[in-house]
Amino acid sequence: MFSKMLIANRGEIAVRVIRACKDLGINTVAVYSEADQNSLHVRLADERRCIGPAISSKSYLNVRSILDAAKASKAEAIHPGYGYLAENGEFARACAREGFVFIGPTPENLALAGDKINAKNIVENAGVPVIPSSRVGIVKLEEAIRFSEEIGYPVMIKASGGGGGRGIRICASEEILRGEFSVAKMEARAAFGNDEVYIEKCITEPRHVEFQVLADRRGKVIHLGERECTIQRRYQKLIEESPSSRLTPPLRQTMGEMAIAAARAVRYFNAGTVEFLVDPHDRFYFMEMNARIQVEHPVTELVTGVDLIKEQIRLSSGESLGYCYEDLKPRGWALECRINAEDPDKNFLPSPGIIKEYQPPGGFGVRVDTHLYQGYELPMYYDSLICKLISYDLTREGAIKIMKRALAEFTIKPIKTTIPLYLKIMDDPFFKQGIFSTHFIEKFLPEDEEEGEG
Partner 1 sequence: MRVQSSATKRVEVRAPMSGIFYRQPGPDQSPYVEVGDRVEKKQVLALLETMKVFQKIKSPVSGKILEIVQANEAPVKDDDVLFVIDAQA
Active site residues: 292
Min. distance of Cβ 417 from partner 1 in angstroms?
12
No. of helices (H) and no. of strands (E), the chain:
15, 22
Nearer Cβ to partner 1 (185/314): 185
Q: Which is nearer to partner 1, 34 or 76 (CB)?
A: 34
Of 262, 384, 404, 424, whose CA–CA distance to 12 is shortest? Answer: 384
Q: Do the bridges between strand 377-378 and strand 353-354 make them parallel or antiparallel, or are there none, so unpaired?
A: antiparallel
Q: Are strands 27-33 and 47-52 parallel, antiparallel or unpaired?
A: parallel
* Residue whose CB is less far from partner 1, 58 or 93: 58
Contact 88, 161 (CB under 8 A): no
HSE (CB half, 13 Å, CA atoms) of 70?
Answer: 28
Tell me the closest approach of the beta carbon of residue 454 to partner 1, in angstroms: 5
Q: From the CB of 380, what's the least distance to partner 1, in Å?
A: 5
Distance in Å, CB of 352 to partner 1, minimum: 6
309: nearest Cα among 31, 77, 103: 103
In terms of CB distance, is 55 or 328 closer to partner 1? Answer: 55
Q: Which residues of this chain interact with partner 1, rule CB under 8 A? A: 54-55, 190, 341, 348-353, 380-384, 453-454
Among candidate residues 371, 311, 296, 372, the one with its CA nearest the CA of residue 10: 371
Contact between 323 and 301 under an 8 Å Cβ cutoff? The reply is no
Look at residues 412, 274, 272 and name the one whose alpha carbon lies nearest to residue 337.
412
Report the Cα–Cα distance between both ends of the chain, in Å, rounded. Answer: 45
> Shortest Cβ distance from residue 271 to partner 1 (Å)?
25
Burial category of 429 from C-beta neighbours within 10 Å (exposed 0-12, middle 13-18, buried 19 and up)? exposed
Identity of the residue, 85 or 289, whose beta carbon is nearer to partner 1 in the bound complex: 85
**In whole angstroms, how large is the CA radius of gyration of the chain?**
21
The bridge status of strand 342-343 relative to strand 333-340 is unpaired
CB of 298 to partner 1, least distance (A): 22
> Closest CB to partner 1 among 243 and 344?
344
